[in-house]
Amino acid sequence: AALLDLRRSDEQQGLAPLGTSEDRLVAEARDPRALRRALTRGEFTAHFQPIVRLHDDQVVGHEALARWQHPQHGLLTPERFLPAFETGELICALDAAVLEHALNALPRLRATASAPLHVAVNLSARELTAPGAAARVLAALDRHDLPSSCLAVEVTESAMSKPLIRDRELRQLRERGITVLLDDYGTGYANLLALLDTPATGLKLDRSLVSRIASDRRARRLLGRVAAAGRDLGLTTVAEGVEDRSTASLLRELDVDLAQGYFYGRPSAAPRTATTCTTTTPDHPGSS
Ligand code: C2E
Ligand code: MG
Ligand code: MG
Ligand code: MG
């Protein structure tokens, strides 16, 4: 009660209300109107993390990851804002904004590499079950005059209510040559029959399993079996969260196709121009 009184008298005197900067950020990141405003102002952007082919260590693509460049609080990662987005339709606008950033950045990313790169975006279950999801993705590719082979979409298995609609949209994307990856595979609701019937072309093995294989022989054997099962079904395998060399070499021995993680590179801003490819800004300066 004393605190409330203090707060009221602060406001009466025209001072800033009590509360730390962290409190204000938490409140803002939970407020759909504030998030929509930030989207309109273009404060959401994408950072890019390299994806490497294990057999020759070539970078073959990048995953686009949403970031909020907040005018007061700096660069924020999805754990701060994604929960509020996911409670409503707003997530579709975020997915679309990140797709736009990804397709914009692709020519600049490609200028930094010798092989043709692809870019992967995360699509929420809500976006994939909103009418016309596949058509929207294909239209974006057309607008940027890019071939469908340069795009991958990552989807997580979730307890969402419309798997049939989602799979129909994903099948449409796959038929047009877009890579479809089941993200965070091995966690959540992924079941064996879903794997058999999936419209996906690949699996991203979850970091929680990948991070254990260097120290845990049973985890290593399990990952090897899951990767082999994926291969048998004709699926590409991608390991996420690779943080050290020993994990990378084990994954290579287990015939996993692609890998992504801090060992290869942290998410960072796209190069500004096609020629200044060394001036990227890491998410965590000085820690790579
Ligand atoms: P994700 O799609 O599984 O992306 C991988 C996450 O793991 C990223 O976190 C990345 O920064 C982090 N990561 C990569 N390598 C390592 C590593 O070696 N060690 C550790 N500890 N972490 C690593 P981030 O960027 O915070 O994104 C978190 C999640 O937010 C993503 O997980 C994805 O599910 C979701 N997300 C990100 N961007 C979007 C978006 O545009 N739309 C939607 N719907 N979801 C998004
Ligand atoms: Mg992903
Ligand atoms: Mg993932
Ligand atoms: Mg993950």
Q: If DSSP codes are grouped into helix, strand and coil, which group holds residue 65?
A: strand
Q: What is the pTM of this model?
A: 0.90
Q: If DSSP codes are grouped into helix, strand and coil, which group holds residue 210?
A: helix
Close Cβ partners of 6 (under 8 Å, ≥ 6 residues apart): 18
Cβ distance 188 to 206 under 8 Å? Answer: no
| Adjacent-strand bridge partners of 237 | 203
Give the pLDDT of residue 114. 80
- DSSP element (H, E) containing 51: strand 44-53
In this structure, the residues whose C-beta lies within 6 A of any atom of ligand 1 are 49, 65-66, 77-79, 82, 91, 94-95, 98, 122, 124, 154, 183-184, 207, 240-243, 260-262, 267
Residue nearest to atom 28 of ligand 1 (CA): 78
Rounded to the nearest 10 degrees, how much is the dihedral formed by the CA atoms of 89, 90, 91, 97? 130
Ligand 1 atom nearest to 77, measured from its CA:
26
- DSSP element (H, E) containing 1: none
ipTM exceeds 0.85: yes
Give the pLDDT of residue 274. 64
Ligand 1, residues 240, 258, 264: which to mutate, most atoms within 8 A of Cβ?
Answer: 240
Distance of CA 2 from the midpoint of ligand 2 (Å)? 47
Give the pLDDT of residue 137. 98
Q: What is the greatest pairwise CA distance in the chain?
A: 70
User: Helices (DSSP H) in 144-201: which residue ranges?
Assistant: 163-175, 192-197
Residue nearest to atom 34 of ligand 1 (CA): 122
Give the pLDDT of residue 192. 78
| Adjacent-strand bridge partners of 75 | 69
Burial of residue 101, with CB atoms counted within 10 A of its CB: 0-12 exposed, 13-18 middle, 19 or more buried = buried
Closest to 265 measured CA to CA, from 283, 238, 253 = 283
Give the pLDDT of residue 288. 38
Residue nearest to atom 43 of ligand 1 (CA): 122
**Cα–Cα distance for residue pair 98/122, rounded to 1 Å:** 9
Burial of residue 9, with CB atoms counted within 10 A of its CB: 0-12 exposed, 13-18 middle, 19 or more buried = exposed
Ligand 1, residues 63, 79, 82, 136: which to mutate, most atoms within 8 A of Cβ?
Answer: 82
Residue-by-residue DSSP string for 89-132: THHHHHHHHHHHHHHHHHHHHHTT-SSPPEEEEE--HHHHHSTT
151-176 per-residue burial string, b: 16 or more CB within 10 A, e: under 16:
bbbbbbbbeeeebebbbebbebbbee
Residues of the chain with pLDDT under 50: 1-16, 276-280, 285-288
Give the pLDDT of residue 47. 98
Q: What's 269's DSSP letter?
A: P
Phi, psi of 148 (to 5 degrees): -65, -20
Q: What's 66's DSSP letter?
A: E
Closest to 119 measured CA to CA, from 134, 108, 128 = 108
